[in-house]
Every structure is written in structure tokens, then in C-alpha cells.
Structure 1
């Protein structure tokens, strides 16, 4: 359902030039120990939430998508289906203001993520269901009747 790309340890797409003896810029950063810092150089630190981990199970009668997103409420999610593309997203805004004798303290935060999955034609789009329990969002994508796995049977020879 999704394409996976293997990236080097630091997430860079920079390749080492085999024709020269100089290492790539990304390997220099590894040599200087920048990989010891908490992923500051390889993630989008502006979003506030990293992309949640997803498990996709292919069962006999449905695909099951499980997404680990603890600390949210079910009303925080937005799940859309558009042209066989399932999009799961959330956007959280937090503002706090404290007023004391001679100062005001304001804090605000913004967090969001969006994961998209292209669904196969075998999914019954009209019967998709979602459930959020104990920090796990589960989306059940039932298969069309003709796509469901049939049980094994013995065929008699005539």
C-alpha cells in the first residue's frame, strides 16, 4: 500500500562519489558525532509531532491499519477518503496565558501530522470503520466480497 525507501543512517539522499577519495558531506557529519544529537539535523522539527508508526495487516476479509498516537482524543483526528487515497491527519493548537502581578506569560504550541495511503481496488470503500482506544487508532478497510480469501477446499476427481 505504500512504497518504502531505504535511506542512509542520517536520512540524507547524498551519495558518496566512488570516483573520488573524498567522503560525502553526510558521512562527514557522522564522523564529527552529530548523530549523537537528538535527530535535530534529520527531522522536520517544526511540526511538533513526528510521523506516527503504522502497522498494516492483510487479513482474509480486511486490511487493518493500526497507528500509534497516544495522548490524543478521537475528535482530534481527521480521516478522509478521496479517490482511493486514505488520509489520516491531526492538527492541535495550544495556547496558555498566565497573568500575575506585573507580568504576563503567554505560551503557544502547534502540532500536526498527515499520513496518506493509496488503497487497492479490492477495498470496500463504503464500509471503512475507525476506532481509537488506548492510544491506538485502528482503521478497518474491509475487502470486497470477490477479493476475500476463500477457504481451502478439496476438489474431487470425476
Structure 2
């Protein structure tokens, strides 16, 4: 097992250490990138959360996903390792699918002096815009071996009828 350097802070007032500055810089970077996305879209309102989440993804990453169009439906696959079906919530609107997976596991630890742990806790959001409206009532989702599969049938377009001149 390789050793990892540890910066030890005994004085709570030393908030000028590099790690604290790095956290602030990363949050500022997310804010700047979200604003850049807003400007690139022509300052169109209504997509603030999407801009913020995209900026976080670009700077911090998020689970891999795929959006495909098959058999008159959109199919989304997203990696959610460590989650159970009860941890996952899918929200469907006619124009988008939002996936939220969260788990907060209470873990008993045998380690001395552990006051809390984030091991086993995770929170994931993904939002997918779909090009054509979907039938919200027919959206299904299944979680299998850490892969969430969402099937969202598109709303069938009404066929155009042409009048025939007699």
C-alpha cells in the first residue's frame, strides 16, 4: 500500500491552506463555466440548472450515459454502480428525462475515532433533453447490474391526409 502525503491542520483558523483555496477555485470555475454556457446559448433563460450541472460534469465528471433512438422510442442507459432500484428516481416530462439516484447508507465502523463517513453515500443527477415529445405514461425504467435502462416511447405523429381533387 502506497503512502499518501497528509497535510495536518491543528489550527482551525488556517483557512489559507491550498486545499481550502482549491475548493473555492473549483466552485468559482463551475460558476464561470455555467455562465459561459448561458452566454453561448444567447442568454436564454430557463436552463440555469442544466448549465450548472453541465459545468459540474465538465469539471468533475459524472456517470457515463447513452441516449439512443430505437423502435419509435428513446433508450437511455446510465451507469449507476452501487445503487439499488429503491435509490433511483426517474422523472419524465414530454421533452426531458431526469434521473436522480441517491443513497445514504448508515455504516457501522469498527475503526476507532471515526466520527462520520461518506463511504457508501452517493448522489447523482442527470438530465436528458429529447428531440421529440415522449409519451410520459409509457416510460419504463429498470436497473440491472448497475446499469439503468430507461425506455421512453415517442408520441406518434399524426399522419397527414391529402385531399384528392375530383
Q: TM-score, normalised by structure 2?
A: 0.51
- 1:53 equivalent in alignment to 2:60: no
- 1:80 equivalent in alignment to 2:91: yes
When residues 118 and 94 of structure 1 are mapped into structure 2, their CA distance, relative to the original with a 3 A threshold, is same
> How many Å separate the matches in 2 of 1:68 and 1:93?
18
Bigger RCO of structures 1 and 2 (CA < 8 A, at least 6 apart): 1
- Show the counterpart of 1:141: 152
- Show the counterpart of 1:107: 116
When residues 127 and 83 of structure 1 are mapped into structure 2, their CA distance, relative to the original with a 3 A threshold, is closer
Is the CA contact 1:96–1:106 (under 8 Å) kept in the aligned structure 2? no
- After superposition, the CA RMSD in angstroms is 3.0
Q: Provide Cα deviations, 1:114-158, integer angstroms capped at 9, x if missing partner.
A: 0012234431122111011121100001122228xxxxxxxxxxx
Give the unaligned 5+ runs of structure 2.
Answer: 1-29, 34-57, 159-166
Q: TM-score, normalised by structure 1?
A: 0.53
Structure richer in helix, relative to its length:
2
When residues 73 and 123 of structure 1 are mapped into structure 2, their CA distance, relative to the original with a 3 A threshold, is same
> How many Å separate the matches in 1 of 2:156 and 2:129?
20
Give the unaligned 5+ runs of structure 1.
Answer: 1-10, 14-41, 45-49, 148-158
The number of residue pairs the alignment matches comes to 103
> How many Å separate the matches in 2 of 1:83 and 1:61?
15
> How many Å separate the matches in 1 of 2:129 and 2:103?
25
